[in-house]
Amino acid sequence: MSVTACQGLGFVVSLIGFAGVIAATCMDQWSTQDLYNNPVTAVYNYQGLWRSCVRESSGFTECRGYFTLLGLPAMLQAVRALMIVGIVLGAISILVSIFALKCIRIGGMEDSAKAKMTLTSGIMFILSGICAIIGVSVFANMLVTNFWMSTANMYGSMGGMVQTVQTRYTFGAALFVGWVAGGLTLIGGVLMCIACRGLVPDQTNYKAVSYHASGHNVAYKTGGFKASTALGSPTRSKKIYDGGAHMEDEAQSHPSKYDYV
User: How is the chain split into domains, by residue range?
Assistant: 1-40+69-153+167-199
Look at the pTM and tell me if it is higher than 0.75.
no
Question: How confident is the model at residue 214, as a pLDDT?
Answer: 53
Contact in structure between 128 and 184 (CB atoms under 8 Å)? no
Mean pLDDT, the chain, rounded, equals: 76
Amino acid at site 26: C
Please give the CATH architecture assigned to the domain spanning 1-40+69-153+167-199.
Up-down Bundle (1.20)
Which tens digits make up the pLDDT trace of 141-179?
999 888 777 666 655 544 555 454 567 888 999 999 999
Rg, Å, the chain Cα set: 36
| Burial class, 245, CB count within 10 angstroms (exposed 0-12 / middle 13-18 / buried 19+) | exposed
Which tens digits make up the pLDDT trace of 229-251?
444 444 444 444 444 444 444 44
Lowest mean pLDDT among 45-59, 75-89, 148-162, 194-208: 148-162
SS3 content of the chain, % helix, strand, coil (to 5): 45, 15, 35
Q: What percent of the chain has pLDDT over 70?
A: 67
Taking the C-alpha atoms of residue 207 and residue 242, their distance in angstroms, rounded to an integer, is 14
Taking the C-alpha atoms of residue 90 and residue 122, their distance in angstroms, rounded to an integer, is 10
